[in-house]
Amino acid sequence: MYGLVGKSLGHSFSKDYFTEKFSKMNLDFRYENIELDDVCEIVSFVKENKDLKGFNVTIPYKESIIPFLDSLDETAKEVGAVNTVKVFEDGKLKGYNTDVIGFEKLLETTHKTYNNNALILGSGGASKAVQYVLKKKNIRFKVASRKTFQSGISGEESNIIGYDEINSDGFTPYSMIINTTPVGTFPNCDECLDLPYSTIGTYHVFIDLIYNPEETMFLKKARFNGAATYNGMTMLREQAEAAWGIFRTLEF
């Protein structure tokens, strides 16, 4: 058994994705949505489900699940967030971050060179994976957060700005804008962050990690104003493939 751990999973494509994969590979496995009201419930869930071999983690538990894991791989340690957990035969849990791989692949599809600043909207677990990739690629970035006291990866507090600063300066200082928040996810497709979209130009690239709907209101507004736009489907597929690779690897 494999699964997806989160709180409200009606929007997720992961179950269908893995179920189809298992069918194509003629594997007698199943993939379930595991909705938990509190992340601490993962401990009892693992104990009660001895056939659980691994699971993915989504909003809102990518960071809060870490204290319940026995170990982390190096990337997950640096990122400070986990989206993949492998369950070993002795019940030990090891956390990984394949969102990093997914976002790297997504960036490659844009075929762009980013010499200017990037702006990341949101400061949660997905944001930390994006920060990790941008830092690795030496792309300067700011993180817009409603919690301006919150630090990014590696304690880069100076990178955190409030949304009021965006509304003051517009998108002009940035070449790439990435939405890592859940705002606009199905079924709330008409929702959109309140931002100065009129300052968008043709030199902008807008990325939304949301994949359902295919085009969020955030991306529609960006496209209307001339920006190149990309949704999160590539990231979803690539992080899922990387997670599957982890699940299948024998490791002690």
Contact indicator for 13, 211 with CB cutoff of 8 Å = yes
Closest CA to 243 of 95, 50, 67: 95
The residues facing 208 across adjacent strands are: 179
* Rounded Cα gap, residues 105 and 179, in angstroms: 16
Rounded Cα distance, 231 and 221, in Å: 13
Question: Is 62 one of the catalytic residues?
Answer: yes
Q: Which residues are CB-contacts of 14 (< 8 A; sequence separation ≥ 6)?
A: 4, 31, 33, 56, 58, 236, 240
Tokens of residue 156, six digits: 């880069």
Given 62, 86, 94, 128, which residue is catalytic?
Answer: 62
Residues paired with residue 118 on neighbouring β-strands, in sequence order = 141, 176
Q: How many CA atoms lie within 13 A of 80 on its CB side?
A: 15
User: Residue 206: which H helix or E strand, with range?
Assistant: strand 205-208
- Separation of alpha carbons 236 and 180, rounded Å: 13
Structure tokens at 192: 């959109």
Say if strands 2-6 and 31-35 run parallel, antiparallel, or are unpaired. parallel
Residue numbers annotated as active site = 62
